């Protein structure tokens, strides 16, 4: 049996299927190990570091598109919908760190691409602002956080 590409979505709907975004589920996650880390190990580490005069921060980055990403919209049937843009697809990036306990936020907003060198400069600016080297920075698993020359 042969179906046209245009008919395929209709056929799949007739089978009770719908097009939707998938939800990722981490199959390697060890719930007990995660609970132990979050409820026992991390609070102990934080308490010890605070007693030693360290400042504890959560750090992350986020990017914002400077051009709209409109792919579809509602309009009058039979008429082409035009969305004017300048053809520049830039991105504004924010690197920030939020201190546990005080709520202090330190951030840098810029057009540059985030990499290991920029991350290092961010850490240096945080150290300069706080006037201390005793900073515990909790980061996600981004590749540039683990650059070999940076972690040494």
Q: Residue 118: in which H helix or E strand, if any?
A: helix 116-130
pLDDT value, residue 86? 67
Q: How far apart are CA 99 and CA 57, in angstroms?
A: 4
User: 149: Cβ–Cβ under 8 A, 6 or more apart, which residues?
Assistant: 116
Is domain 55-65+91-152 annotated with CATH 3.30.70.1450?
no
Computed over every residue of the chain, the mean pLDDT equals: 85
Tens-place pLDDT, residues 81-140: 777 766 667 788 999 999 988 999 999 998 888 899 999 999 999 999 999 999 999 999
Domain boundaries, the chain: 55-65+91-152
Direct distance between the N- and C-terminal alpha carbons of the chain, in angstroms, rounded to an integer: 62
pLDDT value, residue 21? 77
Tens-place pLDDT, residues 11-31: 888 888 887 777 777 777 788
Dihedral sign, CA of 83, 85, 91, 92? negative
pTM, rounded to two decimals: 0.65
Q: Residue 8 — φ and ψ, nearest 5°?
A: -55, -45
């Amino acid at each position: 049996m042969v179906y046209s590409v245009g008919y395929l979505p209709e056929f799949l709907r007739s089978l009770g299927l719908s097009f939707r975004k998938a939800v990722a589920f981490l199959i390697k996650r060890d719930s007990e190990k995660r609970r132990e880390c979050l409820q026992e190990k991390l609070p102990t580490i934080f308490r010890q570091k605070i007693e030693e005069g360290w400042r504890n921060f959560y750090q992350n980055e986020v990017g914002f598109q400077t051009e709209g990403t409109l792919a579809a919209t509602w309009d009058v049937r039979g008429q082409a919908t035009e969305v004017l843009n300048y053809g520049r697809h830039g991105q504004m990036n924010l690197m920030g760190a939020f201190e546990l306990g005080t709520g202090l936020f330190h951030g840098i907003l810029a057009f540059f691409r985030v990499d290991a060198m920029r991350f290092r400069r961010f850490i240096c600016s945080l150290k300069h602002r706080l006037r201390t080297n005793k900073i515990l920075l909790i980061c996600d698993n981004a590749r540039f956080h683990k650059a070999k020359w940076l972690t040494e």
